[in-house]
Amino acid sequence: MATSEKNLSTYNKDQLPEAKNMRIGLVVSEWNPDITENLFQGAFDALIDTGVIKENIVRWNVPGSFELPYGCKKMQESFDMLDAIIAIGNVIQGETKHFDFVCQGLTQGIMELNLKSDIPVIFCVLTDNTKAQSEARSGGIHGNKGTEAAIAAIKMAQLRKDAKFYKAD
């Protein structure tokens, strides 16, 4: 297991880009709200802790994880001044193939957004076999994947800025 010995919430602020003026969007699934709200809180707290101004954080909700790519796409289109977007969701394995279809569709959708748009979308979707695994990764023994996603968003936002700076005209 990739996270068996890892706390997802560990980061060093001194090694991160300056985040004060960054604008970050969060699209949060309403399905499994006990998990997604913990992921949101982990991301929000890390963004604030690293210097992002509260007013520069935008949150939208969508009904479920499958709707995350559409919500992120609409956020990209509505806020061209955003530096990054975090897609927050949770899908727990059940008895049917529904889990597979939802996970494949939302993963493909977020990947396509990253390839087609200039605003990076960070994948903060827990796809676990059990609720206990999701709880362990949303503020439990493995920390909070939302925190990890916030740090990834800051790094990708900086990469976006750097790439624009070096882009040849």
User: Distance between CA 133 and CA 149 in Å, rounded?
Assistant: 17
User: Distance between CA 16 and CA 20 in Å, rounded?
Assistant: 11
- DSSP of 40-97: HHHHHHHHHHTT--GGGEEEEEESSGGGHHHHHHHHHHH-TT-SEEEEEEEEE--SST
- Indicate if 142 belongs to the active site: no
Tell me how crowded residue 107 is: count the other CB atoms within 10 A of its CB: 16
| List 98, 100, 104, 129, catalytic entry | 98
User: Distance between CA 120 and CA 110 in Å, rounded?
Assistant: 9
The residues carrying an active-site annotation are 98
